[in-house]
Amino acid sequence: MTALSKLPAKTIVGAIADAAERWRDAYFPARVEAAQRIAERTGYSVPVVEYGLDRLFLSITSDAITATIAGELGELEILDGFRSRAGRTDAYAAPIGGVCVISSRTTIGVALPAAIFALCAKCDVLVKDREDYLISAFFQTLHEERAEFREGARAELWRSSDEAAPALESFDAVVAFGKTETLATVRRALQPEARFVGFGPRASAGYIAREALSGAGAAHDIARAAARDIVLYDTEGCLSLHVLFVEGGGNVSAAEFSDLLQKAIEAGAVEFPRGAEQRIAEVAHARALAGFRKSAASSALDDPPPFLPRITGAVTVRDPAEALEYLQRHGLALEGFAIAGDRPDLIELGVNAGAVRLSRFGELQDPPLHGNHGGRPRIGDFVKWIDKTF
C-alpha cells in the first residue's frame, strides 16, 4: 500500500494544483530562492529562469491535470481512483508502486510533470533532484498542503556512485532524462519486470513555407517568434529550435530572412539576456567558431545542425520532401516541429519526421501539460490495470 492510496484522486489533484498556484507567485519566498539557485546552477539569466518557472507552474492547474487523466484513463472517481476510458466496470487502474524520477541537468523542472502524475496515480515517488533543489522545494510546499505527501513525495540529491544512493532495482518504475548511454546504464540496473521510461536527446525543427514569407512584415514577425525559440535556454532544450527550413521562392529570400533572424536573436537578448559571464564568453566563442552570419545565411543540405548556443542555421529547401530527407539523413529525433504556413503537406512533414508536437513559431518552448513529452503518456506509465472477473 502506498502513502497516498487512501486519498481520493481529486484530493491529490487539488493539493498539487494548490501548491503550484503558490509557486506561480514570482515573490513566493521558496520560488525566489529556487530561481536564484537555478540561475547559479545553469548559468541562465534570471529572466530566462523566471520564464521557465512561469511556463512550468502556470500549466499545472486542477483542470489541466484532470483533463489529462481523463484523456488517458477516464474520469476521476472519488473513491475508486480511475475507470477506463471505455467506461468499463470490470477493470481498475491501480498504482504501479514505487517510482523514481531522475532529473535532467539542463531543462528547468523537467522531472516535475512526471512526478506529479505519478503522485496522481497514487504511487510513492522519489525524485533525484539537482543542485538547485527545485523539486525538493516544491515538494515541501506540497507537504504543507497534505501531510500524506511527506512519505509519498520525496526528493533527494545523490550521485550514482554514492554508497547511500537508492537501489534502482527496488522501484517498480523509473523515469530518466539524459544521454543515451546514461539511460542504458539506468535500464540495466532495474528488475526485468520494472517499467522503464527513458527520455534521451532530442531536437526541434521548423519549416517556413514560401507563402508565409509574403512580405517584410510577415517575415519580421516569423523571425521574432523563431528567435524566442532559439534564445530561450541558449538552445539547449529538446524544444529549442535547432534547425530551420526556409522554402525557396517566397517574396523574402532565405538570405534576407536569415538577416532578419540574426537581428531578432540579438534583440532577444534584451528580453532574455545571457547569464553568467562564463556562459556569455562561451556563447560568443561558439558564434565566432560557427561563422554565424555565413552559416545562418545559407546552411548547406549536407551540413548537420550546429547545436551551438543561440545559433540556428536556415536551410533553404525546395519542398517538404527535401526537408524530410535532411532530417532522416542526419538522424534527428524530433520533439517539436514549428510551422509557418497553412498547407496539409507541412503537417504531414512534421508527422513523417517523427515530431511529438506541432506548434507555431514562438510556442515551441511553451508545451501544454497534457502534451505527451517524448511521445509517452503522462499518467499511463504509472498505473497497472487490474481485471475484475467476479
Query: What is the per-residue pLDDT across 326-375, written as a single tens digit (0 to 9) for each?
Result: 999 999 999 999 999 999 999 999 999 999 999 999 999 999 998 888 88
Task: For residue 320, tell me if it sits in a domain.
Answer: yes
Whether 294 has a pLDDT exceeding 50, the answer reads: no
CB-side neighbour CA atoms (13 Å) of 164: 4
- As for how many domains the chain has, the answer is 2
* Bridge partners, residue 195, by sequence: 173
Q: Is residue 117 part of a domain?
A: yes
The β-bridge partners of 127 are 101, 155
Identify whether 133 is part of a domain.
yes
Look up the CATH number of the domain holding residue 96. 3.40.605.10
Closest CA to 226 of 255, 258, 201, 251: 258
Estimate to the nearest angstrom the gap between the alpha carbon of 265 and the chain centroid: 22
How many CB atoms sit inside 10 A of residue 52's CB? Answer: 23
The separation between CA 71 and the C-alpha centre of its own chain, rounded to angstroms, equals 19
**Residue 337 lies inside a defined structural domain of this protein:** yes
Q: What pLDDT score was predicted for residue 141?
A: 98
The confidence score (pLDDT) of residue 1 equals 85
- Extract the C-alpha cell encoding 322: 527535401
- If asked whether residues 146 and 86 sit together in one domain, one would say yes
Q: Is the pLDDT of residue 299 over 70?
A: no
Give a yes or no: residue 74 inside a domain.
Answer: yes
Do 106 and 232 sit in the same domain of this protein? no
Q: Are residues 377 and 234 in the same domain?
A: no
Quick one: which of 281, 250, 236, 24 has its CA closest to 138? 24
What percent of the chain lies above the pLDDT cut of 70? 88
Residues 101-113 have a mean pLDDT of 90
221 and 185 belong to one structural domain: no
Distance from the Cα of residue 30 to its chain's centroid? 22
58 & 165 share domain: yes
Q: Is the per-residue pLDDT at 200 higher than 80?
A: yes
Question: What average pLDDT does the chain have?
Answer: 88
Are residues 258 and 179 both part of a single domain?
no
- pLDDT given for residue 98 in this prediction: 97
Sign for the CA dihedral angle at 342, 345, 346, 347 comes to: positive
Residue 274 has which C-alpha cell?
Answer: 545571457
The residue range of the domain holding 230 is 203-359
Q: Is the pLDDT of residue 34 over 90?
A: yes
Do 23 and 85 sit in the same domain of this protein? yes
Cell numbers for 122, please give them. 497514487
| Rg of the chain (C-alpha set) | 22
Q: Is position 175 within any domain?
A: yes
Written as nine digits, the cell of 360 is 507555431
CATH number at residue 345: 3.40.309.10
198 phi/psi in degrees, rounded to 5: -110, 135
Burial class for 87, CB neighbours closer than 10 Å (0-12, 13-18, 19+): exposed
Comparison of pLDDT for 31 and 308, the residue scoring more: 31
Pair (237, 291) in one structural domain: yes
Task: Inform me whether the pLDDT recorded for 277 exceeds 70.
Answer: no
HEC assignment per residue over the chain: CCCCCCCCHHHHHHHHHHHHHHHCCCCCHHHHHHHHHHHHHHCCCHHHHHHHHHHHHHCCCHHHHHHHHHHHCCCEECCCEEECCCCCCCEEEEECCEEEEECCCCCCCCHHHHHHHHHHCCCEEEEECCCCCHHHHHHHHHHHHCCCHHHHEEEECCCCCCCCCCCHHHCCEEEEECCHHHHHHHHHCCCCCCEEEEECCCEEEEEECHHHCCCHHHHHHHHHHHHHHHHHHHHCCCCCEEEEEEECCCCCCHHHHHHHHHHHHHHHHHHCCCCCHHHHHHHHHHHHHHCHHHHHHCECCCCCCCCECCECEEEEECCHHHHHHHHHHCCCCEEEEEEECCCHHHHHHHHHCCCCEEECCCCCCCCCCCCCHHHCCCCHHHEEEEECCC
Q: How far is residue 170 CA from its own chain's centroid? A: 27
Residues 288 and 148 in one domain: no
**Domain annotation covers residue 364:** no
The residue that leads in pLDDT, 352 or 85, is: 352
Q: Is a pLDDT exceeding 60 seen at residue 74?
A: yes
16 with 22: CB under 8 angstroms? Answer: no
Does residue 179 share a domain with residue 213?
Answer: no
Confidence of residue 390 (pLDDT cuts 50, 70, 90): low
**pLDDT (mean) for 116-144:** 96
Looking at the structure, tell me whether residues 57 and 140 fall in a common domain. yes
Tell me what the mean pLDDT of segment 70-75 comes to.
80
Say whether pLDDT at 281 is over 50. Answer: no
Model pLDDT, residue 77: 56
Q: Are residues 183 and 120 in the same domain?
A: yes
Domain membership of residue 2 (yes or no) is no
Least confident of 16-25, 73-82, 336-345: 73-82
